[in-house]
């Protein structure tokens, strides 16, 4: 594997390319060792060339957006990390309630854009600290809404560096997953279909949900959001709370005393701390409640 060739390809395309990048600076958990090479594509065309360069060198790149739903090993990532959050990532209105956005734009930016255009349907996503592409990848949702409700299609680049698109049922959207979690393609753009609404009502709903997040979630600490998926017929946070695990800690990682569904970085937490705490929570909930809870956060070991 010749990483230097990929590095040179990125520079020749005018892209930002950096060696030995600390991933803790690119995740909301503030945890993670160094990535061997990080590239921020400056366009979809440059992304195609970078993907093809990786493929020719036998390198499987890792894709990140806002780094809000991942735990990266302290051992680092011996691969190419492609950072989709380029500075010119934007949002465009196509008319008839349809918004097109680049995968690397933040969800909050898309929500504010929808507000300005007086479009409703995306309020649930306001305050989710992720990118649009990441939200589509995992069918992000909150407060009785999810991306499945508004996502029409995604444009992507496949493992061979070719552009394609999935729409409707092809997206495979279900609880916290999509077809992209399995096909390895890189989402580059999204089309969202919203409805006309009253601007004041849309803003009021956004502010209400944001306040609920502030009141109930430990936003003052680094985390990856909800740590566990909701098991059928239960709420993960309630199960964890009932098992007396609020405040349980391993090293710098702690089950939030404010919201048991969050594992937070109280300071200096390592990926090993978090993994051990996740394991403790899973085992305890199964032993006491007979329920299996699965991590929602993506656990990225050394590559």
Q: What is the CATH number of the domain that holds 113?
A: 3.30.465.10
Residue 245 lies in a domain: yes
Q: What is the pLDDT of residue 302?
A: 60
Q: CB neighbours (10 Å) of residue 33?
A: 19
Per-residue pLDDT at 16 exceeds 80: yes
What's the CA angle centered on 233, arms 221 and 152, to 5 degrees?
70
* Sheet strands side by side (includes 186-193): 91-95, 98-102, 186-193, 151-157, 163-167
Instruction: Clarify whether residues 60 and 102 are in a common domain.
Output: no
CB 103 within 8 A of CB 84: yes
pLDDT level of residue 264 (50, 70, 90 thresholds): very high
Instruction: Clarify whether residues 105 and 34 are in a common domain.
Output: no
CB 6 within 8 A of CB 57: yes
Domain boundary among 50, 83, 116: 83
Residue range(s) defining the domain that contains residue 62? 3-83
Q: Which of 209, 177, 162, 188 is nearest to 86 (CA)?
A: 188
Residue 228 lies in a domain: no
| More confident: 280 or 143 | 280
Residue for token pair 């500075």: 87
CB 245 within 8 A of CB 262: no
Residue 231 lies in a domain: no
Instruction: Clarify whether residues 47 and 18 are in a common domain.
Output: yes
> What is the domain count for the chain?
3
Q: Write the CATH number for 272.
A: 3.90.78.10
Instruction: Clarify whether residues 100 and 211 are in a common domain.
Output: yes
Q: What is the pLDDT of residue 151?
A: 98
226 is catalytic: yes
pLDDT level of residue 303 (50, 70, 90 thresholds): low
Per-residue pLDDT at 260 exceeds 70: yes
User: Measured between alpha carbons, how far is 188 from 74 in angstroms, rounded to an integer?
Assistant: 28
Q: What is the pLDDT of residue 160?
A: 87
Catalytic residue, candidates 178, 226, 256, 271: 226
Instruction: Clarify whether residues 106 and 65 are in a common domain.
Output: no
Domain boundary among 62, 83, 104: 83
Instruction: Clarify whether residues 199 and 112 are in a common domain.
Output: yes
Residues 173-207 pLDDT 10s = 999 999 999 998 999 999 999 999 999 999 999 99
The answer to whether the predicted template modeling score (pTM) of the entire model surpasses 0.85 is: yes
Instruction: Clarify whether residues 101 and 210 are in a common domain.
Output: yes
Q: Write the CATH number for 35.
A: 3.30.43.10
Residue 172 lies in a domain: yes
Q: What residues have CB less than 8 Å from 181, skipping those under 6 apart? A: 137, 138
Residues 114-152 pLDDT 10s = 999 999 999 999 999 999 999 999 999 999 899 999 999
Q: What is the pLDDT of residue 105?
A: 96
Instruction: Clarify whether residues 79 and 124 are in a common domain.
Output: no
Instruction: Clarify whether residues 280 and 254 are in a common domain.
Output: yes
Q: What is the pLDDT of residue 159?
A: 86
Instruction: Clarify whether residues 58 and 109 are in a common domain.
Output: no
DSSP class per residue in 127-175: T--SBHHHHHHTT-EETTEEGGGTEEEEEEE-TTS-EEEEEGGGG--BT
Q: What is the pLDDT of residue 87?
A: 83
Catalytic residue, candidates 24, 36, 176, 230: 176
CA neighbours closer than 13 Å in the CB half-sphere of residue 188: 20
Instruction: Clarify whether residues 163 and 79 are in a common domain.
Output: no
Please compute the mean of the pLDDT values over residues 35-47 and round it to a whole number: 96
CA neighbours closer than 13 Å in the CB half-sphere of residue 109: 20
Catalytic residue, candidates 68, 223, 256, 296: 296
Residue 222 lies in a domain: no
Domain boundary among 182, 216, 250: 216
Q: Average pLDDT, whole number, for the chain?
A: 95
Residue 224 lies in a domain: no
Q: What residues have CB less than 8 Å from 22, skipping those under 6 apart? A: 32, 33, 34
Query: Which structure tokens are listed for 194?
Result: 């919203």
296 is catalytic: yes
Instruction: Clarify whether residues 121 and 196 are in a common domain.
Output: yes
Q: What residues have CB less than 8 Å from 291, skipping those under 6 apart? A: 231, 234, 239, 285
């Amino acid at each position: 594997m010749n990483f230097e060739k990929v590095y040179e390809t990125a520079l020749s395309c005018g892209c930002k390319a950096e060696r030995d990048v600390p991933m803790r600076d690119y995740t909301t958990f503030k945890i993670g060792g160094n990535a061997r090479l990080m590239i921020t594509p400056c366009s979809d065309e440059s992304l195609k060339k970078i993907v093809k360069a990786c493929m020719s060198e036998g390198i499987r790149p890792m894709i990140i957006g806002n780094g809000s739903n991942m735990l990266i090993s302290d051992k680092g990532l011996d691969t190419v990390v492609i950072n989709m959050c380029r500075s010119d990532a934007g949002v465009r209105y196509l008319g008839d309630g349809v918004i097109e956005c680049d995968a690397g734009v933040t969800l909050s930016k898309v929500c504010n854009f929808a507000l300005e255009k007086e479009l409703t349907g995306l309020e649930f996503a306001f305050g989710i600290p992720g990118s649009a592409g990441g939200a589509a990848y995992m069918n992000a949702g909150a407060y009785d809404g999810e991306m499945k409700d508004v996502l029409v299609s995604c444009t992507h680049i496949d493992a061979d560096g070719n552009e394609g698109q999935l729409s409707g049922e092809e997206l495979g959207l279900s609880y916290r997953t999509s077809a992209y979690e399995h096909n390895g393609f890189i989402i580059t753009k999204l089309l969202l279909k919203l409805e006309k609404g009253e601007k004041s009502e849309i803003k009021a709903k956004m502010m209400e949900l944001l306040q609920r997040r502030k009141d109930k979630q430990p936003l003052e600490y680094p985390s990856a959001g909800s740590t566990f998926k909701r098991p059928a017929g239960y709420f993960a946070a309630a199960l964890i709370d009932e098992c007396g695990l609020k405040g349980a800690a391993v090293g710098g990682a702690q089950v939030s005393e404010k919201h048991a569904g969050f594992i937070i970085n109280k300071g200096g937490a390592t990926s090993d701390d978090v993994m051990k705490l996740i394991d403790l929570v899973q085992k305890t909930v199964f032993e006491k409640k007979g329920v299996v809870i699965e991590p929602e956060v993506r656990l990225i070991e050394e590559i």
